Amino acid sequence: MRAQQPAQSALAALLSQPFALMGILNVTPDSFFDGGRHAARESAVSHGLAMVEAGADVIDVGGESTRPGSQSVSEEEETRRVVPVIEELARRCRSAISVDTSKSGVARRALDAGATWVNDVSAGRFDPGMPALLAENDCIAVLMHSRQTPKTMQHAPHYDDPVGEAVGELLQQVAVFLSAGVSKSRIVIDPGIGFAKRFEDNIAIMRGLRAFVDTGYPVLIGTSRKAFVGQITGRPVDERMWGSLGSVAAACINGAKIFRVHDVAETRDCLRVLAACLSR
């Protein structure tokens, strides 16, 4: 396994850049865009390495779909899917490896295999063992706002104040991790676009992203090819890259620092031009 710099210093280095990219690597049969494309280990590793070459700072390996209506899989199955891929990527690539999981057992095995980030879409709501695990390990915790579970989250979600409620609920979960001993400098927050949110909620959060930035935590945004992009453009998921780039540019202008994307090279070019045009 390759030598890695401490996670805190690695995150600080990423945040010193104008932006950072997290490449999405789903080793699942049922994810909303690329389900089944990289389910085999060899294909997954090859795609992960290609994203590194395209400019991904982090590769986020997920073994359980969290699309609306998706069913949970067992800890054993999720571990079987992600750990061999993480082991091989950690051995062969220079970028950080993240595991996209809400199960502390999967996270532990992934960290042992070489991951240094844990991306938990439940922000610890699904597994009370997650905060203590991350406190024990020198890893980055990405904590996302959501409600209910992926299976039920789009069953009539409702907000009176989408931005205020999402910020408040997310900070409640952040406090759980801080109380468990996770350092503030190891926490990244994600507003959870598309998770338990209506179209108008997603738009409100994109417009109000500064409220998340103002918490003092670095903000990761994941809009890549999501349904709200399709609702705006009228495009199916395979044709949403250009719309996704528009959402990434808007999020960057509003203070997001890390972008979780399927299309790494295209997003990198978009953000490099944006950064050059906005720099003083």
- 135, exposed or middle or buried, with CB in 10 Å at 0-12, 13-18, 19+? middle
Which tokens belong to 276?
């050059």
Q: At what angle do helices 199-207 and 241-253 cross, to 10 degrees?
A: 40
CA-nearest of 179, 160, 161, 45 to 114 is 45
State the greatest distance between any 2 C-alpha atoms of the chain, in Å, as a whole number: 51
Q: How far is CA 249 from CA 66, 159, 255, 274, in A?
A: 24, 26, 10, 7
Which is the catalytic residue, given 109, 240, 257, 260?
Answer: 260
**260 tagged catalytic:** yes
Which is the catalytic residue, given 147, 226, 240, 268?
Answer: 226
- What residue ranges in the chain does DSSP mark as E strands? 20-26, 58-62, 96-100, 117-120, 140-144, 187-190, 220-221, 258-261
CA-nearest of 96, 123, 106, 99 to 9 is 96
Q: How far is CA 84 from CA 25, 90, 238, 269, in A?
A: 13, 10, 28, 31
**91 tagged catalytic:** no
CA-nearest of 191, 200, 194 to 254 is 191
| Enzyme catalytic residues | 226, 260
